[in-house]
């Protein structure tokens, strides 16, 4: 089971496999926690912020996942 790491969000996956759970999680993030911005982002890249005080960073999806995992590593 995958759980959303956003504060106050109680979303959890219900899926037959780990891959399916991560796919559901990605869809949840886009639907509930993402917003569209007017920015030039190259194909294959995403923009992220570490927190409300930091600057936007343009990174690959894998880099974004690594940053996310490092920030939420217990």
The per-residue pLDDT string of the chain (74 residues; one tens digit each, 9 = 90 and over) reads 899 988 899 999 999 999 999 999 999 999 999 877 777 889 999 998 887 788 989 999 999 989 888 887 75
Residue 70 is predicted with a pLDDT of 86
CA distance 74 to 61: 22
CA distance 20 to 23: 5
Strand-pair partners of 3: 12
- Asked whether the beta carbons of 12 and 4 are under 8 A apart, the reply is yes
**Residues 23-42: b if buried by 16+ CB within 10 A, e if exposed:** ebbeebeeeeeeeeeeeeee
Residue 74 is predicted with a pLDDT of 57
Residue 37 is predicted with a pLDDT of 74
When computed from its CA atoms, the radius of gyration of the chain, rounded to whole angstroms, is 13
């Amino acid at each position: 089971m995958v759980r959303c790491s956003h504060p106050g969000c109680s979303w959890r996956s219900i899926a037959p496999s780990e891959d399916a759970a991560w796919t559901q999680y990605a869809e949840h993030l886009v639907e509930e926690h993402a917003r569209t911005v007017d920015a030039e982002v190259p194909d294959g890249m995403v923009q992220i912020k570490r927190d409300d005080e930091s600057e936007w960073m343009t990174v690959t999806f894998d880099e974004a996942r690594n940053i996310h995992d490092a920030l939420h590593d217990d």
